[in-house]
Chain A
Amino acid sequence: MSKQVLLIEDEPNIIEAISFILSRDGWSVKTHSNGADAVDIVKERKPDVVILDVMLPGKSGYDILRELREDPENRGLPVLMLTARGQTKDREIAERAGCDAFMTKPFSNADVLETVRALAAK
């Protein structure tokens, strides 16, 4: 069974692009585009890797990540954060919140693929 990636992102075109890249590499890609119930979705789906956008409708990506880390079951869940705000302080906030990898949009497809593979192998 292929490994599962949960993509939490609200921009339709970006969802389509990432889904395409990861599917071609053999990942099972699930998507979700609302921040409010994202934590529940993670707990329900139990993905191997989560790709999390920062700016989401309903709840910010940082809050979602903090909530996940409080949950013992998801303390070690590999999370890749994506953000369109490219400032240093955004990366710092993300790392403090407990992300495993952090990427600034626009990203290179190859980098995303490589990072997800690395996270899954951990």
Chain B
Amino acid sequence: MSTLNLLVAVCTAYVFFLFFVAFVADRLALQGKKAWLRSPLIYTLSLSIYCTAWTFYGAVGSAARNGFEYLTIYLGPTLVMISWWWLLRKLIRIGRTQKITSIADLISSRYGKSSLLAAGVTILAVIGTTPYIALQLQSVTLSFSVFAGQSGGIDPQDKAGLALWLSLGLAVFTVLFGTRNLDAKERHDGVVMAIAVEAVVKLVALLSVGIFVVWGVSGGLTEALARIDASEFGEWHTDRGRWAGLIFLSAAAFLCLPRTFQVLVVENDDESHLRTASWAFPLYLCLISLFVVPIAVVGLDVMPEGSNPDLFVLTVPLALGENGLAMLSFLGGFSSATSMVIVAAIALSTMVSNHIVMPIWLQLRPSGASVSGDVRNAVLMARRISIVGVVMLGYLYYRMSSGGEALASIGLVAFCGLAQVLPAFIGGMFWRGATRLGAIAGLTAGFAIWLYTLYLPSFGVGTILPVSIVENGLFGLVWLKPDALFGISGMDQLMHALLWSMVFNVVSFVAVSLVTFPSPLERLQAAQFVNIFDHSTNAHSWSGGTAQTEDLMVMAQRILGSGEAQALFMRHARRQGARGNLPAPTPDFLEALERELGSSVGAATAHAMVGQITGGMAISVEDLMAVADETAQMLEYSARLKEQSEELSRTALELRNANQKLTRLSIQKDAFLSQISHELRTPMTSIRAFSEILRDTDQMTPDEQSRYASIIHDEAQRLTRLLDDLLDLSVVENGQVNLNLREGTLRDALDRAVSSAAIGEDGVRLEIERTPAKEDILLHTDLDRLSQVFINLIANARKYCDAKSPRLVIRVMQDADRVVVDFQDNGSGIAPEAVDMIFEKFARVSDQKAGGAGLGLAICRQVMTRLGGSVDYVPAARGATFRVVLPYRTALAAQ
């Protein structure tokens, strides 16, 4: 088996291994076992996507050529990670709450969801990344040829075929694991796990070579250091400007490269992972750069003059006969290359499909995006095609550049290109005044200068840029020479490009932002981004809604009022099974929302409003917001009117009630006066009639005379009694009576009542049964009034008891808080239908035989109420039974 075949076998096996890892991880994720799949460690390892084959091989090469300068490539990201609290935390929170899918999405989202910006950044990313992918392919084929060189060489045809197969394999892997999930917002667990594994392979490979070089070749740490001292390293000087520039560049690249943005922000599962990554990732970078210098020094020593230092990692072990170690090293480089291509392809395909393919596709479709499943499949298909497209683009670039020297420096060139995103990116996060037009201006200026001064010249003079321009400047203007703008020459080409592109980028960005005004949507997004920590809670998963739903929410609140809008959104969120309060903007929800808004502002306006936010309509958001404000004012005004009319009807109701009460009182008063009139006129009638008889009649017997006189007398007395009662009642009712509180026993009060009421005017005595022993209860109350009540009850029994031999039992009972006195006669009692009215004024149970005015019980009840007790008729007892209850404190107070 030839070395080449062995290599192919190893590579294939390794790729299958990656498939396996990714597959298992995806499976585990599906089963919900995400705890360790999404641990801070995995997150940190996945960040090593930053270290590609270019750093794996190139760092040693760079060290061999430029000394310690290679460190700048690691210092930039380290600085970014260390300052995570100020920058990355905010970035990740924004990514989370706004559901950012890529760097292009972030920029576009911040500047009012500008599709122009998104497409621009996407194009920039594709231009900057394609050569980078080509570089990875080149490094793999180069490493192949190194191995093959030992066993008879490799012809260019094979190299190209190898690169093609590699590209295809990576594309398939990426399509399989990168577009596995239907939901574009879901993390790619399998891919991330595979990258983490590759990160470990990279590190182990480089460390192994390093350890071999230090202990195996140099013979120990001291010797290795001595060897470094002896080499040219001690003489290399650092160029401070270039160092600062490179550190800045690598820091910017770490933030802006599509692949690092993908793992850093999009694939981030938990903000708190940053805390670990902030020290673990710099540590990883430190380890990976640890043995770069020793390898470079040994390589320069061991290898023949003129051999490519970029391949020392591979060629040194090979030269020293360590084939196994060389194989490991090869796998490390292979890992670096493949993981970069995979993630870059995923990130770029997301951008390309979302910001270029889909907008075009939707434009071309006549009916618009009406069916959600349709669109979703289209998105997936677009992403798959984009992945293959991006990888193939890299392959084509590789073929076209035919693996020339130009590729070697392409890493920094790409860094510089993508760094153009940085001003708009950072400005958008920290400066509310940044506007869409500012971002476009800055990006365009920076991109143009980068293209002119760095990218195009990188293909080599005369390839794309004509020699005349390079030598004489654009349009023959010397100050427009691509390597010496404004006549400033003598600078390193990279630094020259970086400086000018950044200066123009930042100046245009700030200037244009200052003179332009943001649209309402931009303003909204600016506030969301800059004050992200005020707007979001620390969500541990991608709950909450999309930015789109939030916009709908803002709109709905203006029209429906915040309470109702929130209730509506919450209802739909629950119906959809979403965890937060914001539902996904599904067609169902949009339709419902439109209906709801339609009931407030009319269907057409509602449609326009929803359409404006969800799809593009030719009405500006500003106009709609103005409409919404107006509508809200009208609604508020009508709400006020409604409130007033409700208040009026409340008042009217109160008046009606008062009127009814007065009417009722008036009827009662009429009835009372009518009763009084009747009660007074009846005895007066007898008095008048008989006095006229006495006056006008002659020949009257003395008997008749005395009889009529006594009738007059009785009726006069009845009148007097009636008036007394009336006055008494009025006094007691009005609460004007002065209670004459004194001490005495219950027995005394009963004695007095019995002696005055037991014998009627007719001389018939009512038989009364008492239990004097129980009546010795000391009371502190108005004894006269109490006796009055007792007299009334005894007199009633005497007057109304219909038994043949009327008899009254007075029973006294005592319990914890009251004294109860029952008056029970042996008559037939009071008819149930009459019970309700006996305590009313002028109520009389039977006919006229008693001659009372019917005020007795009414007065009794008033008196007992004044004394703090009560008097009631006790139904269901034998005979008529009245119960007088005295509160015990009346009794206790006396003791």
Instruction: Write the residues of chain A forming the contact surface with B, with a CB cutoff of 8 angstroms.
Output: 10-14, 16-18, 20-21, 24, 33, 55, 57, 84-87, 104-110
Known: A11-B848, A13-B686. A109 touches B681 (CB 8 A): no
Q: Are the C-beta atoms of A109 and B711 separated by less than 8 Å?
A: no
Bound CA–CA A14/B687 (angstroms): 9
Known: A10-B848, A12-B848, A57-B847. A21 touches B689 (CB 8 A): yes
Known: A13-B715, A21-B693. A84 touches B688 (CB 8 A): no
9 residue pairs, one from A and one from B, having the closest CB atoms: A17-B689, A13-B686, A84-B681, A105-B685, A106-B688, A106-B685, A84-B678, A109-B692, A106-B684
Chain A residues near B681 (CB-CB < 8 A): 84-86, 104-106
Known: A24-B697, A57-B847, A106-B689. A13 touches B711 (CB 8 A): yes
Report if B682 contacts A (CB, 8 A): yes
User: Interface residue tally of chain B, by bracket?
Assistant: 20 to 34
Residue among B679, B686, B688, B693 with max Cβ neighbours from chain A (10 Å)? B686
Bound CA–CA A105/B681 (angstroms): 6
| The one of B677, B682, B684, B696 that contacts A109, using a Cβ cutoff of 8 Å | B696
Q: Are the C-beta atoms of A105 and B684 separated by less than 8 Å?
A: yes
Chain A residues near B678 (CB-CB < 8 A): 55, 84-85
**Smallest Cβ distance from B185 to chain A, in angstroms?**
87
Bound CA–CA A14/B686 (angstroms): 5
**Smallest Cβ distance from A66 to chain B, in angstroms?**
20
Q: Are the C-beta atoms of B693 and A109 separated by less than 8 Å?
A: yes
Q: In chain B, residues 670-728, which have Cβ atoms closer than 8 Å to a Cβ of chain A?
A: 674, 677-679, 681-682, 684-690, 692-693, 696-697, 711, 715
**Smallest Cβ distance from A113 to chain B, in angstroms?**
10
At the interface, is chain B mostly helix, strand, loop or mixed? helix
Known: A105-B685, A108-B688. A84 touches B677 (CB 8 A): yes
Q: Are the C-beta atoms of B686 and A107 separated by less than 8 Å?
A: no
Instruction: Write the residues of chain B forming the contact surface with A, with a CB cutoff of 8 angstroms.
Output: 674, 677-679, 681-682, 684-690, 692-693, 696-697, 711, 715, 847-848
Complex A-B: 5 CB contacts under 8 Å: A13-B715, A84-B677, A84-B679, A84-B682, A106-B685
Q: Are the C-beta atoms of A11 and B686 separated by less than 8 Å?
A: yes
**Smallest Cβ distance from A34 to chain B, in angstroms?**
8
Q: Could you list 16 further interchain pairs (A-B, Cβ under 8 angstroms) beyond the known A33-B847, A106-B688?
A: A10-B847, A10-B848, A13-B689, A13-B711, A14-B682, A14-B685, A14-B686, A17-B686, A24-B697, A84-B677, A84-B681, A85-B678, A87-B677, A105-B685, A106-B681, A107-B688
Chain A residues near B847 (CB-CB < 8 A): 10, 33, 57
Residue in chain A with minimal CB distance to B844: A57
Q: Are the C-beta atoms of A105 and B682 separated by less than 8 Å?
A: yes
Residue in chain A with minimal CB distance to B704: A20
Residue in chain A with minimal CB distance to B695: A109
Residue in chain A with minimal CB distance to B679: A84
Chain A residues near B848 (CB-CB < 8 A): 10-12
**Smallest Cβ distance from A57 to chain B, in angstroms?**
5
Residue among A13, A20, A104, A106 with max Cβ neighbours from chain B (10 Å)? A13
Bound CA–CA A12/B692 (angstroms): 17
Bound CA–CA A20/B681 (angstroms): 20
Q: Are the C-beta atoms of B674 and A107 separated by less than 8 Å?
A: no
Residue in chain B with minimal CB distance to A112: B689
| The one of B682, B686, B692 that contacts A108, using a Cβ cutoff of 8 Å | B692
**Smallest Cβ distance from A108 to chain B, in angstroms?**
7
Residue in chain B with minimal CB distance to A33: B847
Q: Are the C-beta atoms of A109 and B686 separated by less than 8 Å?
A: no
Q: Are the C-beta atoms of A84 and B696 separated by less than 8 Å?
A: no
**Smallest Cβ distance from B342 to chain A, in angstroms?**
106
**Smallest Cβ distance from A106 to chain B, in angstroms?**
4
Chain B residues near A12 (CB-CB < 8 A): 848
Q: Are the C-beta atoms of B674 and A87 separated by less than 8 Å?
A: yes
Residue in chain A with minimal CB distance to B683: A13
Residue in chain B with minimal CB distance to A11: B682
Residue in chain A with minimal CB distance to B684: A106
Chain A residues near B687 (CB-CB < 8 A): 106
Bound CA–CA A15/B847 (angstroms): 15
Q: Are the C-beta atoms of B697 and A14 separated by less than 8 Å?
A: no
Chain A residues near B684 (CB-CB < 8 A): 105-106
**Smallest Cβ distance from A22 to chain B, in angstroms?**
12
Bound CA–CA A105/B688 (angstroms): 9
